Amino acid sequence: MTTIDIDTPDGTIEGLLTQPSSGSGPWPGVVVIHDMLGYNSDIKAISERIAAQGYVVITPNLYSRGGPARCIPGVMRDLLTKRGRALDDIMATREHLLGLAECNGTVGIVGFCMGGQFALVMSPKGFGASAPFYGVPLPRSLSETLDGACPIVASFGGRDPAGIGAPQRLQKVLTDKGIEHDIKTYAGAGHSFANKLPAQPLLRIAGFAYNEEATEDAWRRVFAFFDRHLRKSA
């Protein structure tokens, strides 16, 4: 894992580059979008998990210009309006990946919570596949947002109060548009079920803690889906 600079329309931001430790490329690329907590040991572990499956991964730091306290309002505004610097940063990360000799020319996107919402918003913008984890609340004007979207593999927690009705709504829109998708709700899991966040005992009481069984199944689905859509035949 290496810290890199990513050139964007509004200056340089930091990113984490993680490459497979074995095998030979080029590999598919994956952009990982962090949740509202930003960079932490969990998002680094997720990047390493993805790279271990044969993907070259970059996680852009959307809080590069001043840290979470200063950047969260602007990032959330960009997410709500679906335009602005945060979206430009994600697109610049995609372009950086495509410029690497180690990348095979296809790039997917994965996101968690806030990042999951970005993964949905960015799904029509040149990505080969999108994997939002509990990307709720769903973006406004969902049908319009997903016009021309890439294939989507989405995972939700059945005990997530913010996700009530979201899987069904997303399923309907994608079905109506003929967009390939795999949507699954994990009945015993809550929000952030695939993230190992601080204060796990308290989160578990609130129903938001890490759920290993749901996490492992969700990643199995994501990797199978990404393998179909991002790997190029020899």
Which residue from 67, 140, 58 is spatially nearest to 95, judged by alpha carbons? Answer: 58
- Residues 82-104 pLDDT 10s: 999 999 999 999 999 999 999 99
- Residues 33-73 pLDDT 10s: 999 888 888 899 999 999 999 999 999 999 999 888 899 99
- Which tokens is 231 given? 């790997």
Query: Given strand 103-112, what is the order of strands in its sheet?
Result: 2-8, 11-18, 56-60, 27-33, 103-112, 129-133, 152-157, 181-186
Q: Domains in the chain, ordered, with CATH? A: 2-230 (3.40.50.1820)
Which amino acid makes up residue 82? K
pTM: 0.94
Better-predicted residue by pLDDT, 133 or 69: 133
Strands 56-60 and 11-18: antiparallel
Q: Is the pLDDT of residue 234 over 50?
A: no
Question: Using 50, 70 and 90 to split pLDDT, how confident is the model at 205?
Answer: very low
